[in-house]
Structure 1
Amino acid sequence: MSERDLELRRLANEEVEKHKDTVESDPYRLKYHHMPPVGLLNDPNGFIQWKGTYHLFYQWMPFDTGHGAKFWGHYASEDLVKWRHEPIALTPSDWFDKNGVYSGSAVVHDDELYLFYTGNVKDENDNREAYQCIAVSQDGVHFEKQGVAVNLPEGYTPHFRDPKVWKKADHWYMVIGAQSEDLQGKVVMFQSSDLKNWELMGPVTGSGEGTLGSFGYMWECPDLFALGGKDILIVSPQGLEPQGMNYANTYQSGYFAGALDYNTGKLEHEDFRELDRGFEFYAPQTTLDEQGRRLLFGWMGVPDQYEQAHPTIEYQWVHCMTLPRELTWNGTQIIQKPAEELKQMRGPVLLHSSITINNDQKAIRGIEGKSVEWNLEFEKIEDQFAIELFQYASLSYKDGVLTLSRPHLEDKTKTEFRRVALEQGLKSMRLYVDHSSLEVFINEGEEVMTSRIFPQPEEEHILFTSLGESTFSIEQWKLDGFQHA
């Protein structure tokens, strides 16, 4: 390690210790989601399973609750439930990454773990440079930087980042989120035979490519993989205007499904579809694990979307990850379900079957808590059904539309909404509540709504309302939470 690298590690660890008591005293700290030990967490990086261990790296700013010269933090687990916080993986210590070790991915080659990431560099005039870099590890904990693998090609601005690498047959492939010189968002693909020398193939797709038309000025965090006979491109486009219920956040995350031509690097695809319809979800990354499952983590945040209004800021931290989710393809769309291992967190089940509410609002005996999982199955909704969570957020279903509402984080006198239309109506909801987070898996994962929530810490009330007659069952498990070493 260089002197600068050692210094940055020391300073970051000192920051963790300095604010440890403040951070841990926050009532909005989570029980079973990944958080930063101090400062800001954003994109999941380098998500991979290697030799039976899941590695989840993350963008980390230890010195501030704003964005800046990012590090890579590192969690590891054998079962997605018991996690340990490993030493810092990467620091912004070299000329090619001095203003941030930005997002990237991981692959295994010759029994070593390779990290690919974007080195962010700015000069004294704030002009940006971007380099795609490599770091290698023999033990999955200690990483040695190998320097720059890909320089900025002609035709693109320095908004060129977030390499995702995978292998198919005898070649390696890399997709990068990009902005063309005419300020259109793209995903660009490279090919390599040795992970070191990369040949540009061109744009996979993007704004202004093929029949897509104008579709944002920058595409971030691409991920390209096969699922159920389709090639899936997950991407986070910036610059989409709201369209009805769609594209309601500052920036979006979703996917294109189609067929990738590995000879040309072009993806023929269907329309863009959002992965999550809640308030906070961005920059998801997937991996194929040793069981053959396609697993996903996302960042429970959105850049430039009132991040400094989160009440955790006063406790010296901000943001968290989603739960790990398994992705499948049902023939027409991606289905997202919580990873099976999360059931290990459950305590005894509390079951209420065949509850009927008719033009009334009521609490249900025993349904309570801030670290819980609920499963609701609906037999009948006559007019409107709603769940009010802790006198703060609510989920309401009427006329084929599910609405999530909460107080606006910046202006508490206002209420903000996210909505999704359910073609088959509301059949089921699986809710995960974790002190200041909410993840709702709707109709067995056909839709998901992920959000931060900040009710009064002592508030426990859950109220169920029905206009007309609603009949449903509800199961509750109190969750023990991730175990962190």
Structure 2
Amino acid sequence: MEWTREQRYTKLDQMSEENYQSLLDATAQSKWRQHYHIQPPTGLLNDPNGFVFHEGQYHLFYQWFPLGPVHGIKYWYHLTSTDLVTFNELGPAILPDTLWDSHGAYSGSGIVVNNEVKLMYTGNHRTQDWQRVPYQLVATLKGNQVSKQPVIEGPEAGYTEHFRDPKVWYEQGMYYAVIGAQRDNMTGTIVVYQSPDFQHWTFTGELATDYEDFGYMWECPDYFELDGQDIVLFCPQGIEPAGDAFNNIYQSGYLMGHLDKENFNFSHDHFIELDNGFDFYAPQTTLGPQGERILIGWMGLPDTDYPTDNENWAHCLTLPRVLSVENHKLMQRPLPALTQLRGTVETAEGYAMKHNVKLHPYEGDCYELIVDVLENESTEFYIELRVSKKESTRLIYNQADKCFTLDLFDSGKLGQSLKSYTRSVILEADLKKMQIFVDESSIEIFLNDGEKVMTSRIFPGEDARGIRTSTESGQVYFRFTKYDLKERPHG
């Protein structure tokens, strides 16, 4: 179905309750609905927004187009949680209902100011001749209602209309915001604003990096200090693949170093992808109650298609990850509270070897699998998940190259926009541990205790439930611990 502009900019209140309920009912029947990931009730989910902890609970929003699996007029859908495991779904909180966000509430972030949750986001306004005017708005959250006002109108001189996604923080008596931007010469960058009161904002200039010509637009910037390092996350668009790197339509990664906040010069290492899978974008972080830095990303990408498009919904959010810096590497580990989802546990250990394909006795489609590699004398080994007679999602590890590959060629139905069926990553040390979360239509793989992560949507058939192992040559001794995961409670 080709969506017209009019259809994409139809608001939720312009649809009858009966028609909207039919969309909800159709989505609920999808065989690929997730069990424990955040997903939209219907329509399209994208960027996580407004992620903040306040007075004992997290607030988390995501961009939402309710009427179909396409990018149309965006709302912010609101969830709250005390632990990021169980969520209360409060529904749309920021609506496209003013001049400043008349054509969609784009991405932004949250912060606590004077004991109130404040949200700063980009409002998308279109003129009669369809010219975009971006506004940066400040909204105050009270319950599930917001009051909002614009604080920055349009882009600064020297930048195009692509000027969005403010991420805010407070430091030494001053509020700061970084915004993703496109220069007039069609290169991407990050610009900086500051404010003494969160209402009056002054343009400071660009965040100066070594990447002056690195894609045509930088989206969803984030800044934080972690374990003595300054870290900037952003999503550059227009990066060409380089070997195993940058093999998605758009990328998401980070720079680590030292940020001079007097002039916003950033001395940093090279750009590193945050996730080496197929479906990860627009991550946002916040501080938890113990000072831990927590990240949630969009399990999807712009300009992609998925089999669920035919069922009137698309995309979900990743599981929350706790970040740390160890040996000058950004580590990502599953939030410890996710163990609350664990149900029945099964364990097994033994050898996998050439010409001895082992079909493990347990199966399932929604589980956490911990794989310990206790001995490895193979040249290459294979772990296959969601296995049926015709389908499997293959995990491949080459011992000599320390190369781990995720192969989706036989995973089931795939989107037509995939550039490749495989993505690979080189590990610094031998592979010793995998922690894998498999849901009805996704897989998240944490390698070597969070050194690398690979996230992807998969769409296998209902009979694809098995697990098997084998090697190219030699043998491997595995220990498997598998937890059935309970469906995430909805409130």
TM-score by length of 2: 0.92
Q: Given the alignment of the two structures, is residue 291 of structure 1 paired with residue 295 of structure 2, yes or no? A: no
398, 404, 407: which one aligns with 1:405: 407
With over 3 angstroms needed to count, the CA separation of the structure-2 counterparts of 1:212 and 1:41, relative to structure 1, is same
Per the TM alignment, residue 154 of structure 1 is displaced from its structure 2 partner at its CA by 1.1
Which moves more between the two structures, 380-389 or 265-274? 380-389
| Equivalence map 1:13-412=2 (5 Å) | 14=17, 16-139=20-143, 141-205=144-208, 209=209, 211-304=210-303, 306-307=304-305, 310-366=306-362, 368-381=363-376, 382-389=378-385, 390=387, 391-398=391-398, 399-407=401-409, 409-410=414-415
Moved more, 121-130 or 423-432: 121-130
- 1:9 and 1:91 in contact (8 A); partners too: no
Secondary structure at the residue paired with 1:454? coil
Preserved CA contact (<8 Å) 2:187 2:212: no
SS in structure 1 at match of 2:339: helix
Change (3 A) 1:326 1:125: same
Letter in 1 for 2:483: W
Aligned amino acid, residue 45 of structure 2: L
**The 10-residue stretch of structure 1 (384-393 or 273-282) with the greater mean CA deviation from structure 2:** 384-393
1:94 aligns to what SS in structure 2?
A: coil
Match of residue 3 from structure 2: none
Kindly indicate whether the alpha-carbon contact (under 8 Å) linking 2:133 and 2:154 is maintained by their aligned counterparts in 1: no
Amino acid at match of 2:405: T
Q: 2:4 maps to which residue?
A: none
Question: What are the ranges of 5 or more consecutive residues in structure 2 without an aligned counterpart?
Answer: 1-9
In the aligned structure 1, how far is the partner of 2:417 from the partner of 2:254? Answer: 33
Distance between the aligned counterparts of 2:133 and 2:148, measured in 1? 18
SS of residue paired to 2:51: strand
Structure 2 residue matching 1:314: 3-state secondary structure: helix
CA distance in 2, matches of 1:300, 1:71: 18
Residues 16/261 of structure 1: CA separation in 2 closer, same or farther (3 Å cut) = farther
Shift of 1:199: 1.0
Deviations 1:99-146 (A, max 9, x none): 11000000111121111110112223332211101110233x211112
> SS at 2:71's partner residue?
coil
1:150–1:198 contact (8 Å) kept in structure 2: no
Q: Check 1:9–1:64 CA distance in 2 against 1; reply closer, same or farther (3 A cut).
A: closer
Report SS of the residue matched to 2:94.
coil
| Contact 2:151 2:201 (C-alpha < 8 Å) held by counterparts | no
* Equivalent AA in structure 1 for residue 395 of structure 2: L
Q: Against the structure 1 CA distance between its residues 244 and 157, is the aligned structure 2 distance closer, same or farther, given a 3 Å change threshold?
A: same
Pick the aligned partner of 1:454 from 451, 459, 464.
459
Specify the SS of the correspondent of 2:356. strand
SS of match in other structure, 2:263: coil
Counterpart of 1:302, as a letter, is L
Q: Secondary structure at the match of 2:454?
A: strand
Mapped to 1, the partners of 2:178 and 2:484 lie a distance apart of 41
1:76 deviates by 1.0
Tell whether the 8 Å contact from 2:231 to 2:257 is kept in structure 1 after alignment: yes
Residue pair 1:8, 1:93 contacting (<8 A) in 2 also: no
1:413 and 1:240 map into 2 onto residues whose CA distance is: 15
Deviation at 1:356, TM superposition (A): 4.2
Whether the aligned pair in 2 keeps the contact of 1:45 and 1:57 (CA below 8 Å) is yes
SS at match of 1:360: coil
Amino acid at match of 1:471: Y
The residue type paired with residue 397 of structure 2 is Y
Contact (CA 8 Å) 1:9, 1:88: kept in 2 or not?
Answer: no
Report the Cα distance in structure 2 between the residues aligned to 1:274 and 1:109, rounded to whole angstroms. 32
| 1:265 aligned partner, one-letter code | F
Instruction: Answer yes or no: is the 8 Å Cα contact 2:281–2:298 preserved in 1.
Output: yes
Look up the SS of the partner of 1:22 in the other structure: helix
Q: Secondary structure at the match of 1:66?
A: coil
Query: Structure 1 residue 313: deviation in Å?
Result: 1.3
**Is the counterpart of residue 420 in structure 1 residue 387 in structure 2?**
no
Task: Report deviation, 1:357.
Answer: 3.2
Unaligned regions of 5+ residues in structure 1, if any?
1-6
Structure-2 separation of matches of 1:361 and 1:477 = 23
Aligned residues: 470
Does structure 2 conserve the Cα–Cα contact (< 8 Å) formed by 1:228 and 1:331? no
Q: Distance in 2 between matches of 1:355 and 1:199?
A: 63
TM-score by length of 1: 0.93
Residues 412/386 of structure 1: CA separation in 2 closer, same or farther (3 Å cut): farther
Q: Is the 8 A contact 2:74 2:106 kept in 1?
A: yes
Question: What is the one-letter code of the residue matched to 2:136?
Answer: Q
In the superposition, relative to structure 1, how do residues 44 and 415 fare at CA in structure 2: closer, same or farther (>3 Å)?
A: closer
Q: Provide, for residues 235-294 of structure 1, a one-character-per-residue CA deviation record: whole Å limited to 9, x for no partner.
A: 000011000000000100000001111111222111000000000000000001111110
What's the CA shift for 1:43? 0.3
Change (3 A) 1:385 1:225: same
1:20-48 superposed Cα distances (whole Å, 9 cap, x missing partner): 22111111000110101110000000011
Once the two structures are TM-superposed, the CA of residue 316 in structure 1 deviates from its matched residue by 1.0
For residues 114 and 150 of structure 1, do their structure 2 counterparts lie closer, same or farther at Cα, with a shift above 3 Å needed? farther
Q: Structure 1 residues 142 and 9, CA, compared in 2 at 3 Å: closer, same or farther?
A: farther
State the shift of 1:176 in Å.
Answer: 0.2
Distance 1:470 1:359, change over 3 A: farther
Amino acid of the structure 1 residue aligned with 2:297: G
Kindly provide the amino acid, as one letter, of the partner of residue 254 in structure 1.
G
CA positional deviation for 1:354: 4.1
Query: How far off is 1:413 after superposition?
Result: 12
Is contact 1:97–1:120 with CA below 8 Å preserved after alignment? yes
